[in-house]
Amino acid sequence: MTYLLARRRSPWATAFLLLLALVGIGGIYALASGSTQAEATAPSASTTQIDEGRKLFLEGCSTCHGLNADGAFQLDGTIAGPTLIGVGSASVDFQVSTGRMPLAAPGAQVERKDPSYSDEETAALAAYIGSLAPGPEIPMPDLYDTTGITPEELALGGQLFRANCAQCHNFAGEGGALTDGKYAPSLTETEPRHIYEAMLIGPQNMPNFPDSTLRPEDKRAIIGYIEALRETPNSGGIDTGRLGPVTEGIVLWTLGLGALIAVAIWIGVKAK
């Protein structure tokens, strides 16, 4: 397992962050329900949280998504924002906590940026949208916590990654181009929770992979493989961006041939 445990990014740091997020959601839930027991399933949100979320929604999101979150049109008839009924809390959590929503500027693709809402506010928004209609819920941490992943699971994760993800996100999760200026983003920094949610909901143009076609354990294996890609030492030396032969060619023509031609010039110059 030495290959998996290079410590570029400690799994504990991720776990800690996730714990914080949990406290945000779970704490309020515990207060409202009067129970301190941790739940194994996704926590259902409290009425206060839903109210809080509704308030935030009306302030920040309803212009585009409609006062009832059922979508809105612009004056010219194009969609300002799609309906959010049934998208589930996972979708809200993904879009808001990766900063993609609220939308900064329209374009071919909604870009990731610093989130505008705090974790609590995000949780409240998610709870509100989640309360409107059933939809994919924010996954519990044990679904995407890959500590203790076995080599078999890892190998399965690799196979599933190459079968379902590599075509857009590239063999090492570095991302790739799509049509008309769209692109599949790099996965090298993405949090496991967001990867899980993305597979579940299929944000923007990404197709979705519901649990019925890609089981939760498959998703966890894929996340485990993506993490292994980050942590595995680069056998063979400095990588050229993990983008394949194009960047290798650039290194050859600049560094490699550059060095040899420099020596050739040194050979040709007369000594003083």
Partner 1 sequence: MTIEPYDSGDLPEHKPRRSDVDPKAAKRAERQVGFLFIASGLASAAFIVAYIVTPVDKEMPLPGFGSTNASNLLLGITMGLALFLIGAAAIHWAKKLMPDVEVVQERSPESSEAEHRDALLDEYRRGIDESGVKRRPFILGSMAAALGLAGLPAVVLLRDLGPLPADALTKTMWERGMHILIAETEQKIRPEDMQVGTLISAVPEGIDLVMEEAGNLNELAKSAVMLIRMDPAEIVADQTPEGKEPWSYEGILCFSKICTHVGCPLGLYEQLTHHMLCPCHQSTFDLADAGNVIFGPSSRSLPQLAITVDEDGYLIAREGFAEPVGPSFWERG
Partner 2 sequence: MSTSKVEQAGGAGYLWVDDRVPASKYLKKQLGKVFPDHWSFMLGEIALYSFIILLLSGTFLSLWFKPSMIEVVYDGSYLPLNGVKMSEAYASTLDISFDIRGGLLMRQIHHWGALFFVAAISVHLLRVFFTGAFRKPRETNWIIGVTLLTLALLEGFAGYSLPDDLLSGTGLRIAQGIMLSLPVVGSYVSFFVFGGEFPGTDFIPRLYTVHVLLVPGIILALITVHLMLVWFQKHTQFPGPGRTQRNVVGYPLFPVYAAKAGGFFFVVFGVTALMGGLFQINPIWLYGPYIPDQITAGSQPDWYIGWLDGALRLMPNIEIVFFGQWNLMLNVLVPAVIVPGIIFTAMALYPFIEQWATGDKTHHHLLDRPRNAPTRTAIGAMSLSFYVLLWIQGGNDLIANTFKINIFVITWTLRIAIFVVPPLVFVITKRICFGLQRRDRDKLLHGYESGIIKRLPNGKYYEQHQPISPEERAVLLARAEAPLPLPMPEKYDANGIKQKGYGVKKLQSRLSHFFYNEQVPMPTAAEIEEGNHHESELTAERNYEIDDARTKALAPHE
Residue from the set 21, 209, 220, 224 that interacts with partner 1 by CB under 8 A: 209
First to last CA, the chain: 57
Residue with tokens 């496991």: 192
Q: Mind spelling out the 3-state secondary structure of 98-126?
A: CCCCCCCCCCCCCCCCCCCCCHHHHHHHH
When computed from its CA atoms, the radius of gyration of the chain, rounded to whole angstroms, is 23
Question: Choosing among partner 2, partner 1, none, which partner's interface includes residue 10 (Cβ < 5 to 8 Å by kind)?
Answer: none
Helix (H, G, I), strand (E, B) or coil at 35: coil
Give yes or no for residue 265 binding partner 1 (CB under 8 A). no
Q: How far is the CB of 180 from partner 2 (least distance, A)?
A: 6
**Distance between alpha carbon 71 and the CA centroid of its chain, in Å?**
24
243-248 — which CB contacts under 8 Å span 24+ positions?
Answer: 243/170, 243/174, 244/170, 244/171
Q: Verify binding: residue 73, partner 2, rule CB under 8 A.
A: no
Q: Which of 39, 108, 113, 147 binds partner 2 (CB under 8 A)?
A: 108
Binding partner of residue 206 among partner 1, partner 2, none, CB cut-off 5 to 8 Å per kind: partner 1
- Which of 116, 92, 93, 94 lies closest to 104, judged by CA? 116
> For partner 1, which residue of 141, 175, 176, 216 counts as binding (CB under 8 A)?
176
Q: Is 36 a binder of partner 1 (CB under 8 A)? A: no
User: What are 137's two structure tokens?
Assistant: 């819920």
Contact 27, 36 (CB under 8 A): no
Amino acid (1-letter code) at residue 130: G
263 binds partner 2 (CB under 8 A): yes
Q: Which two tokens mark 132?
A: 């409107």
- Supply 180's token pair: 């008309």
Q: Residue 102 and residue 150: Cα distance in Å, rounded?
A: 39
Q: Which stretch binds partner 2 (CB under 8 A): 11-19, 24-32, 45-53, 254-262?
A: 254-262
* Candidate list 40, 75, 105, 267; residue touching partner 2; CB under 8 A: 267
Q: Give yes or no for residue 134 binding partner 1 (CB under 8 A).
A: no
Q: Could you say whether residue 71 binds partner 1 (CB under 8 A)?
A: no
Binding to partner 2 (CB under 8 A): which residues in 234-253? Answer: 234-240, 242-249, 251-253
Q: Provide the minimum distance between the beta carbon of 12 and partner 1 in the complex, in angstroms, as a whole number.
A: 19
13/147 Cα distance (integer angstroms): 12
Interface with partner 2 includes 257 (CB under 8 A)? yes
> What angle, 0 to 180 degrees and rounded to 10, lies between the N-to-C axes of helices 151-164 and 216-231?
100
Residues that bind partner 1 (CB under 8 A): 2-3, 6, 8, 159-160, 163-164, 167-168, 176, 178-180, 182, 184, 202, 204-210, 212-215, 218, 233-239, 263, 266-267, 270-272
- Residues contributing to the site for partner 2 (CB under 8 A): 1, 3-4, 108, 151-152, 154-155, 157-159, 162-163, 166-172, 174-181, 183-184, 225, 228-229, 232, 234-240, 242-249, 251-253, 255-257, 259-261, 263-265, 267-268
